[in-house]
Amino acid sequence: MEKDLIRKNFVASLQKGLDVLTCFNREAARLTVSEVARLTGSTPASARRSLHTLHELDYLESDGKRFWMAPRALLVAHSYLASRPTPQLAQPLLDALSERTRESASIAKLVGDHAMIIARSTARRSLSTGLGIGSRLPAYCSATGRVLLASLPPEEARRAVHAMQRKPLTAKTVYKADEVLALVARCREEGWAGNDGELELGVRSMAVPVFDREGTSVAAMSIAVRAERMTLAEFRDAFLPALRKARDTLAGRLYKE
């Protein structure tokens, strides 16, 4: 009955429009109708209707052939950031953590197969990954992603990992399902996850789960460092306590969403 009600109220055209709006990224900044159709898995006719509607509403700009994001699209992200407590409460803590460690710190939530950054503070030592709010990291091979997968029931995490498209991003990427699940289980047991060059060679990261005041895992908090600065063990010993302290401070302020 509930599924029937959902299907009855589901607006397919809205889904198609949102798929179009979110298919743009750094590598696909200006797109033709055919390129959008390919990226969204829709027909050219459907992609064209969505593109022209979004253009008419000022969410996209166009030169008549290609389309690109317009500033108005930021209203969607701003509505989330302004209305949800986690990014608002996390930002000053991330700023303080980044200032104290001189490294970049982030908060992420699980969105589909990715860990999506919802708050971030960039350190004086900037990393080349170019991450920002809204950036997505593959859950199977990122520290934040593994923490978020570890917060799921084990069987749900197993199904999620097996369903993901997994591939090596560097020579150090752990991507085979059984190996990923072993790292997720280890994270569940130890309460933190590390990443050593799996997303980008020369970058190490570390993440811990973020809990609300009821003890429910709601996000992951991470910090990253250049590999030449310290080994993973030195990184853990130097920054894991500060990361956990910032996480615990945030947990004391987060009510159930």
- Per CATH, 2-74 and 84-251 having the same topology is answered no
Fold of 2-74: Arc Repressor Mutant, subunit A (1.10.10)
Query: Average pLDDT for residues 125-142, to the nearest whole number?
Result: 79
Task: Report the pLDDT value the prediction gives residue 115, as an integer from 0 to 100.
Answer: 97
Sequence ranges of the domains in the chain: 2-74, 84-251
Q: What is the pTM of this model?
A: 0.85
pLDDT in tens, 93-132: 999 999 988 899 999 999 999 999 999 998 665 554 568 8
Give the C-alpha separation, 42 to 225, whole Å: 40
How buried is residue 117: exposed, middle or buried, by Cβ count under 10 Å (0-12/13-18/19+)?
buried
Residue among 88, 79, 44 at smallest CA distance from 16: 44
User: Which is the CATH superfamily of the domain at 84-251?
Assistant: GAF domain (3.30.450.40)
pLDDT in tens, 37-74: 999 999 999 999 999 999 999 999 999 999 999 999 99
pLDDT category at 30 given cuts 50, 70, 90 is very high
Task: Report the pLDDT value the prediction gives residue 128, as an integer from 0 to 100.
Answer: 46
Query: Average pLDDT for residues 77-95, to the nearest whole number?
Result: 91
